[in-house]
Amino acid sequence: MKRIHADDAKQSTQVDFLPVIEGDPNDYRTIFTTLKECMRLSGDKVTIVTFDLPIWLKAVDIIKQANLPIIPRLGGFHLLKSYLGSLGNIMDDSGLLELIQLIYPGSKTANHILNGGCFDKAIRAHLLIDAAIY
């Protein structure tokens, strides 16, 4: 094995803290500056940047308009909230709202859960419903 892999050079990975960009995070100019700085730091490679949902929406607009070689990613928390909201939209008028109202009495909480809000309550409700079905 040592002889076979003697010439295989492994590239090292470096993880650093990036400098703070002063500015309003919701401002298009600040997002554009962040994207350009990420492109500069990555060199010639395609850049992957992760944002939360409100900034991700603006970053996607900037990337499309400027035709930047950047792949915008949605953060895990907001991706899951978006998934829960789409699940509520797909399951509209299926009785899921009424089932969630049995778990959390009151129409506001159940509606908020089906719109992707109340993350902790939504996870609990969906796990309870899954356990009841299976």
Q: Where are the domains of the chain?
A: 28-74, 77-133
User: Minimal CA–CA distance to 31: which of 11, 51, 13?
Assistant: 51
Residue 129 pLDDT greater than 70, yes or no: yes
Please report, as a single letter, which amino acid is at residue 71: I
In a 13 Å sphere around the CA of 49, the CA atoms on its Cβ side amount to 30
Q: What is the pLDDT of residue 21?
A: 80
Residue 3 CA, chain-centre distance (Å), reads: 44
Q: Give the pTM.
A: 0.66
Q: What is the pLDDT of residue 41?
A: 85
Mean pLDDT of 56-74: 93
